[in-house]
């Protein structure tokens, strides 16, 4: 998953929980329709790059998480729902800045 920043799409981690079988099936079909051969991200960790399947960044998901790491990756992300009320490029993070 990622969010748009001034430099482009920024990697924020992977989500592995928060859905039931029906949501997983529906989400899988939507992601499959958006599949692309190239990464849409500005940069991705090499261990992720080797196993990734890329999609066009068009879906918006609401994600719950415990914190943002020093590497700007979400800790313990959990899927809440897809959002259809705003375009993907309008989404910006709401992380709290540390002093």
CA distances to 42, 43, 46 from 79, in Å: 23, 23, 24
What pLDDT, on a 0 to 100 scale, did the predictor assign at position 89? Answer: 82
Whether residue 95 lies inside any domain: the answer is no
> Which segments of the chain are extended strands (E)?
2-5, 8-11, 35-36, 54-55, 60-64, 67-68, 74-75, 78-83
Number of structural domains (the chain) is 1
Answer whether residue 99 is part of any domain: no
Tell me the pLDDT band of 99, cut-offs 50, 70 and 90.
very low
| Best CA proximity match to 62, nearest among 73, 77, 41 | 77
Q: How does pLDDT run across 58-73, given as a tens digit for each residue?
A: 999 999 999 999 999 9
**Is residue 37 in a domain?**
yes
The answer to whether residue 52 sits within a structural domain is yes
Q: Which domain holds residue 44?
A: 2-86
Kindly state whether residue 93 falls inside one of the protein's structural domains: no
The better pLDDT of the pair 26, 98 is held by 26
pTM surpassing 0.95?
A: no
Question: The domain that contains 65 carries what CATH number?
Answer: 2.40.50.140
pLDDT band at 12 (very low <50, low <70, confident <90, very high): very high
H/E stretch holding 59: none
């Amino acid at each position: 998953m990622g969010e748009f920043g001034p430099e482009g799409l920024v990697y924020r981690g992977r989500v592995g929980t928060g859905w039931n079988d029906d949501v997983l099936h529906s989400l899988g079909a939507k992601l499959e329709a958006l599949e692309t051969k190239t990464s849409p991200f500005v940069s991705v960790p090499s261990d992720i790059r080797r196993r990734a399947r890329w999609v066009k960044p068009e879906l918006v998901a609401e994600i719950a998480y415990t914190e943002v790491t020093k590497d700007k990756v979400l800790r313990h992300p959990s899927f809440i729902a897809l959002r259809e009320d705003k375009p993907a490029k309008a989404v910006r993070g709401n992380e709290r800045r540390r002093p």
